[in-house]
Amino acid sequence: MTTLGHLINGARVDRDGRTQDIYNPSTGEVAGQVSLASQATVEQAIAAAQAAFPAWRDTPPAKRARIMYRFKALLEQHTDEICRMIGQEHGKIVHDAKGELARGIENVEYACGAPELLKGEYSKNTGPSIDSWSEFQPLGVVAGITPFNFPAMVPLWMYPMAIACGNTFVLKPSERDPTATLFIAELALEAGLPAGVLNVVNGDKEAVDTLLDDARVQAVSFVGSTPIAETIYTRASANGKRCQALGGAKNHAIVMPDADMDNVVNSLNGAAFGSSGERCMALSVAVAVGDAAADALIAKMQSQMQTLRVGPFHDAENDFGPVITRAHQEKVCGYISSAEAEGAEIVVDGRGVQVPGFENGFFVGGTLIDRVTPDMTCYLEEIFGPVLLVVRVDSMEAAMQLIDDHEYGNGTCIYTRDGEAARYFSDHIQVGMVGINVPLPVPVSYHSFGGWKRSLFGDLSAYGPDAVRFYTKRKTVTQRWPSAGVREGAQFSFPS
Ligand code: NAD
């Protein structure tokens, strides 16, 4: 059985010490092992990144961007291989993995524009013979810590732009599905990144804590669950680092009485159950306004869910695959049981689903739960599984209040034909990413991605324009070249 190691200073470093099993969630079998980096190994990666920084910082942005162009071409060339690796360890269906990778490649494309994005600001004659400009300088060594659910896309939110801005990087991927992430990083080196500019350490808390505590690491980008995001943000900030920590979600869709119900049902099916609901933008709550809308929604969902296909990742006919681990399968089923015990109505039950030939896979079937109330555990917590809750309210105001009262504020959407209602909703709702008749309003790479409330700790969102700001620091220079013979006496008042 192979043990996946690390990528440090341009070379593979094999196992060091502790290891952890990697599963194939479709079969439930152990597919390999990953080495869990010790503090010394992580320090070696940080040292490599630190040593590579001066030359990389001084490499012209256009040269850095050219490597990103080659990286993009390599990612496209290796798409099938990468998606198979993702499917094998994550469980998502190959066509879903292709969507993830395409979204990651968009971020590489955006990083190709770094020379334009780093141009800075210039003002001539801010005073007599005085000019001022602001430039955006790289920070130094930057760390990224990423979750299991997008092993290709989320790392690509981070290091292409960080590196294109002149930083060097240490990535700590999820230990549950690290193979595709490491392979992609090797493609970045093949594209021409000098040794040490991008390093990957596989590992767990020990590796993360080392990155958070090492004074050579200037900034940390984190994506994962809220409790860990909060811990990471607190510790990195206390250590004087810049930090952005994106956390969990509970994304609500308001279904207004005038909505096109066929469109709603198609959208909810894909957005609630796609990728087994293991997306931070998955729609996990439908808030139906009025009992008529709720009854119509439930009836149509129930009938359409009969055609849902859950099964192994390699069968393109399947709609979604297994969840990530046996423990997570049990946790998701536990939420369904808690909803039942607390008085909700299980309309479609995904517990105990059997996939012939894959009896040991970590499958949960699509689940629909009606008459959920805001005090129930299944409503308060992020389930991260193929489970759609329906909450009934009697007005749009009540629906919006429900969303605003939830601790998470990642994504939301409204289904309506009423432009005025949609405009009011998007203007006032306390959520970072909003859809209007769009179920998964994931911003394109030239906008930025970030939730509000306890879905994001920090000031700047991921990728897009915010990433350029996050991975650089502004320096403002004021310069004076007085004409020959023009000399001022000493000035004791504040310059105006
Ligand atoms: P997770 O929080 O368990 O792990 C994320 C990363 O943190 C991993 O690299 C892991 O090794 C590390 N980690 C875990 N426990 C740690 C600890 N105690 N100390 C230090 N590091 C630790 O998240 P996950 O299960 O991999 O991913 C799913 C979660 O990520 C969900 O909550 C989902 O909503 C969230 N997510 C959010 C976004 C977003 O953009 N907001 C995107 C994707 C996923």
Q: What is the DSSP string of 454-482?
A: TTEESSS-BSHHHHHHHTEEEEEEEEE-P
Q: Is 226 helix (H, G, I), strand (E, B) or coil?
A: helix
Q: Is the CB of 213 under 6 A from ligand 1?
A: no
Q: Is the CB of 206 under 6 A from ligand 1?
A: no
Which domains are present in the chain? 3-247+455-477 (3.40.605.10), 251-436 (3.40.309.10)
Q: CB neighbours of 125 closer than 8 A, spacing ≥ 6?
A: 131
Specify whether 280 is catalytic: yes
- Report the pLDDT value the prediction gives residue 114, as an integer from 0 to 100: 97
**CA 229 / ligand 1 centre spacing (Å):** 7
What value does the mean pLDDT of the chain take? 96
Q: Is 452 helix (H, G, I), strand (E, B) or coil?
A: strand
- Report the pLDDT value the prediction gives residue 217, as an integer from 0 to 100: 98
Q: Other CB atoms closer than 10 Å to residue 436's CB: what's the count?
A: 15
The pTM for the full model equals 0.96
Please tell me which residue in 83, 165, 243, 280 is annotated as part of the active site.
280
Q: CB neighbours of 21 closer than 8 A, spacing ≥ 6?
A: 30, 32, 33
- Report the pLDDT value the prediction gives residue 489, as an integer from 0 to 100: 75
- Report the pLDDT value the prediction gives residue 17, as an integer from 0 to 100: 82
Q: Is the CB of 148 under 6 A from ligand 1?
A: yes
The residue whose C-alpha atom lies closest to atom 23 belonging to ligand 1 is: 224
Question: From the alpha carbon of 280, which atom of ligand 1 is closest?
Answer: 34
Could you tell me if 225 and 250 are in contact, meaning their C-beta atoms sit under 8 angstroms apart?
no
List, as one string, the DSSP characters of 271-284: HHHGGGG-STT-EE
Amino acid identity for residue 157 in this structure: W
Question: From the alpha carbon of 209, which atom of ligand 1 is closest?
Answer: 20
Residues 327, 333: Cα–Cα separation, whole Å: 10
Q: CB neighbours of 119 closer than 8 A, spacing ≥ 6?
A: none
- Report the pLDDT value the prediction gives residue 486, as an integer from 0 to 100: 67
- Report the pLDDT value the prediction gives residue 492, as an integer from 0 to 100: 80
Q: Which of 146, 205, 228, 239 to mutate to test the pocket of ligand 1 (most atoms within 8 A of CB)?
A: 228
List, as one string, the DSSP characters of 167-219: -EEEEE--SSS-HHHHHHHHHHHHTTPPTTSEEE---SHHHHHHHHH-TTEEE
Question: From the alpha carbon of 228, which atom of ligand 1 is closest?
Answer: 2
> By C-alpha distance, which of 449, 382, 438 is closest to 412?
438
pLDDT < 70 positions in the chain: 485-487
> By C-alpha distance, which of 222, 188, 195 is closest to 105?
188
Task: Match 């209007």 to its residue by tokens.
Answer: 436
Residues 391, 372: Cα–Cα separation, whole Å: 5
